[in-house]
Amino acid sequence: MAIGLRSVIKNLKSPLALKALSFGALMVAARFLLLGGWGGAFVFGAGVLVMYFNPPFRSVRLFASALILTAISVLAIVASGAMVFWLSVFLLSFLFYLVLIVKDLTVLNRDQWYFILQLALIYAALSAFFFWYGDFPGLASVLLVLVMFLLSNERFPGLPVISGVMSFLALQAVIALGLLPLGFINAAVSGLLIVFFFGDLIYFSVKNKLSARLLLVDTTTVTLGLVATFFLTRWVP
């Protein structure tokens, strides 16, 4: 029976992989055939939403992830250099595939893949935040809080107050990191570690599984990760 279930899931994944390839093709078309402007971005966004909502099964459940992924992709289309754009095409297409397989229940270990998806989206959002914070600090902060809130509320439905508090605290920590001369990539890595820490606290608190041992493990992991990031950073003024 397990073999039969895996065979069914494998067959269901094929159309989703085709959608992911179409996602990347739409990015390329919007960038080059439609000259990478906001008109091309609109066509891209409309195409992505059509693929996401077909079929409409569980569409509301992961809509925040799909929306944030689409917004990040639009930024890559209209505002990235050539190398970053092509890298974004591959990575964001894969993330769209993750959205689809989690949404359509075509993967057995959905929680693990969903966790990877959330971390990747948060890292992309943090990278964009640190890249544009110097020019648009207010707008970047508001958008980052919105992204954090939507993703947290999606992961912990029914807890908007907790999601809002976590998003605000994470923003304060991220802004503090922005004061350090880390560069936007390493700053995003450090920010991701902090967001991971807050997210884990909420997750295990909701599950009533928060313990001193878990808190110690998470604190140690995040601290060592931050120390390693700071040590490997080429400090820039």
State pLDDT tens for residues 29-61. 888 876 656 777 888 888 999 999 988 877 888
Q: Check residue 90 and give its pLDDT.
A: 92
In the predicted model, is pLDDT for residue 79 greater than 80?
no
The overall pTM is greater than 0.85: no
Q: Check residue 236 and give its pLDDT.
A: 56
In the chain, where the domains are located: 1-108, 111-237
Q: How confident is the model at residue 235 (pLDDT cuts 50, 70, 90)?
A: low
Percent of the chain residues past pLDDT 70, beyond the cut? 91
Q: Check residue 35 and give its pLDDT.
A: 62
CA distance 70 to 113: 19
In the predicted model, is pLDDT for residue 68 greater than 90?
yes
User: Is pLDDT larger for residue 149 or for residue 179?
Assistant: 149
User: Is pLDDT larger for residue 135 or for residue 23?
Assistant: 23
User: Is pLDDT larger for residue 3 or for residue 234?
Assistant: 234
In the predicted model, is pLDDT for residue 1 greater than 50?
no
Q: Are 77 and 23 in contact (CB under 8 A)?
A: no
In the predicted model, is pLDDT for residue 142 greater than 70?
yes
